[in-house]
Amino acid sequence: MILLRDSRTRRRRLGVAAVAGGLLAALLTAAPAGAIPDPGDSPADGKAVSRSDQAEAREAIKSGEIPAQDEVVHSDNIKHVANIPKDALPGTNSDLAFQGRYAFAGNYDGFRIFDISNPKAPRTVAQVLCPGSQNDISVSGDLLFLSTDSSRSDSSCNSTTQPATEKSSWEGMKVFDISDKRNPRYVAAVETACGSHTHTLVPERKNVYIYVSSYSPNAAYPDCQPPHDGISVIKVPRNAPHKAALVGFPVLFPGEGPDGGGNPGGPTNPGVSKTTGCHDITVLPSKDLAAGACMGDGILFSIENPERPRVIDRVQDNVNFAFWHSATFNQGADKVVFTDELGGGGAATCNADIGPNRGADGIYDIIGKGDRSKLVFRSYFKIPRHQADTENCVAHNGSIIPVRGRDLMVQAWYQGGVSVWDFTNSAKPKEIAYFERGPLTTDRIVTGGSWSAYYYNGYIYSNDIAKGFDVLRIDDRRTDPARWVHMPELNVQTQPDYFD
């Protein structure tokens, strides 16, 4: 692990590391191997688009239909109060977590810690070099957790890329001690089957359980063999995190055959991902519930026994959903919002050709109680603003905004920006605020935009893949009551009971 103090220090230390272990080459060429990611999960070179698409993008800017290149636009009820550009970590910015006055920002090259005690002027506290996509991040107490879903030469932060076909390759979970925010300390690593694309914490007083989501096994990968029809569960003792260990692999999609019993995908269900694991899981510990977005399936399950989660209900949408990406409960635990990451985050899907029901959110009511609970589809939500065909845009990571009596959500849409929307009436969702930038380019698709947009203690924080860390403030009578709700810690995939 290399702690980066400033850009000058980083250049000097990287030079030494490059000589010792080829680290420079690893920084920008790290690509997931043990689990094949959605296209948007790897830093990508620009993809060419047709001349007609280029011309349409330029004309749309000229006519004012979309913002100019890099121009910031937003609804009247949102203010852009701060932006902190990338610094020592040049890779793709990914997920966010929060604790007290700190925000923790994942990046494919490591992670960055911000002091957000003054949200209008965030300050960098630490930058840690530890390459390994996608560095999904979360925190609990004095511990920070980081997902590695790229095949590495070993579990260290000085590792280099190595083919997943080699048995000695490593990918999985890393654990850091963050009792000193200025000097995070790497304390443990646990290898998991097919790596860790994302992870979700189930925190208890003495232990933290981690649900590790990964997918896409291959018979040629010694550590990622089919069927891969469940999740890895890791137990981390708070007082002895170095003893973190795998405690189980519960099967969520039992069935015969090489791929288990999940959605078979094409050709049975054309255009739908075959279920070979989960992409993301959100838990609601106060209700002993979890919702899983699992490629071709959405599931509701019980976590009453955190080591042995149990599926209650399962749904599919083989008409409009291509890839079940993430899940969010409402505060009342009687709705779940599932997202469809059509195109994997690397495609232009916010346009008239794709339409309003694909690459969107699916809103499901939870009907019934306990083991009789059922997920019932109600509607789709998609941002109402068409984007250029040079902008990657699709539903991505978001969180609820805690207001009693309303179901409000803020959500990232890559280059579609940040959207705030109301699904109190689950059959008629509507957008109430937005923030976005114009396209990064008008001649090709370059992956960019907001990866995660979350509400925390009065502000919206967004980790933009290319532009850095954004802070937004929403002023709206519908969201204003949320300012009185302050949380000591927030990992969005470990959804709190805001009013308990």
pLDDT tens track for 96-109: 999 999 999 999 99
pLDDT of residue 63: 85
Q: Residue 143: which H helix or E strand, with range?
A: strand 143-148
pLDDT tens per residue across span 349-375: 999 999 999 999 999 999 999 999 999
Q: Is the pLDDT of residue 18 over 50?
A: no
Mean pLDDT of 173-189: 98
Distances (CA, A) of 58 to 46, 55, 349: 17, 5, 18
Q: What does the pLDDT average to over 321-328?
A: 98
Has residue 283 got a pLDDT over 80? Answer: yes
User: Any alpha helices (H) in 235-364, and if so which ranges?
Assistant: none
Residue 193 identity (one-letter amino acid): A
Confidence of residue 53 (pLDDT cuts 50, 70, 90): confident
pLDDT tens, residue by residue, 425-466? 999 999 999 999 999 999 999 999 999 999 999 999 999 999
Report whether pLDDT(138) > 50. Answer: yes
Q: For 366, list phi and psi in degrees, rounded to 5.
A: -100, 115
3-state secondary structure at position 357: coil
Higher pLDDT, 183 or 60: 183
Mean pLDDT of 140-163: 97
pLDDT above 90 as % of the chain: 85
- Report d(CA 182, CA 282) in Å as an integer: 29
Residue of 180, 187, 159, 185 lying closest to 171 (CA atoms): 159
Q: Are 163 and 151 in contact (CB under 8 A)?
A: yes
Cα dihedral 370, 374, 375, 377, rounded to 10, equals -140
Furthest CA-CA distance within the chain = 61
Closest CA to 198 of 491, 403, 456, 496: 491
Query: Does position 87 have pLDDT exceeding 70, yes or no?
Result: yes
Going by pLDDT thresholds of 50, 70 and 90, the confidence category of residue 45 is low
Amino acid occupying residue 287:
K
Amino acid type, 209? Y
Terminal CA-CA length for the chain: 39
Contact 208, 140 (CB under 8 A): yes
Burial of residue 266 (CB within 10 Å: 0-12, 13-18, 19+) is exposed
Query: How is residue 90 written in tokens?
Result: 């040049």
pLDDT tens digit sequence for 192-202? 999 999 999 99
What is the residue type of 391? E
Q: Is the peptide bond before 387 cis (omega within 30 degrees of 0)?
A: no
| pLDDT, averaged across the chain | 91
Quick one: which of 289, 280, 177, 163 has its CA closest to 224? 163
Which tens digit of pLDDT belongs to each residue from 468-487? 999 999 999 999 999 999 99
Average pLDDT for 183-188 = 98
Question: What are the residues whose beta carbons fall under 8 Å from the beta carbon of 55, sequence distance 6 or more?
Answer: none
C-alpha pair distances (Å), 298 with each of 251, 252, 271, 324: 15, 11, 16, 7
Residue 271 structure tokens? 């255009």
What mean pLDDT do residues 36-41 have?
34
pTM of the full predicted structure? Answer: 0.91
Residue pair 97/491 in contact by the 8 Å Cβ criterion: yes
φ/ψ of 26, rounded to 5, equals -75, -25
Nearest by Cα to 247 from 259, 231, 261, 229: 231
Give me the residue label for tokens 């609804």. 75
Measured CA to CA in angstroms, residue 420 lies from 110, 188, 348, 444 at distances of 29, 38, 21, 28
Cβ proximity of 99 and 138 under 8 Å: no
* Order of strands across the sheet that contains 232-237: 198-203, 207-213, 232-237, 245-248
Q: How many residues does the chain have?
A: 500
The answer, yes or no, to whether residue 131 has pLDDT greater than 70, is yes
Cα–Cα nearest to 126, from 58, 168, 176, 189: 176
Residue 17 scores a pLDDT above 50: no
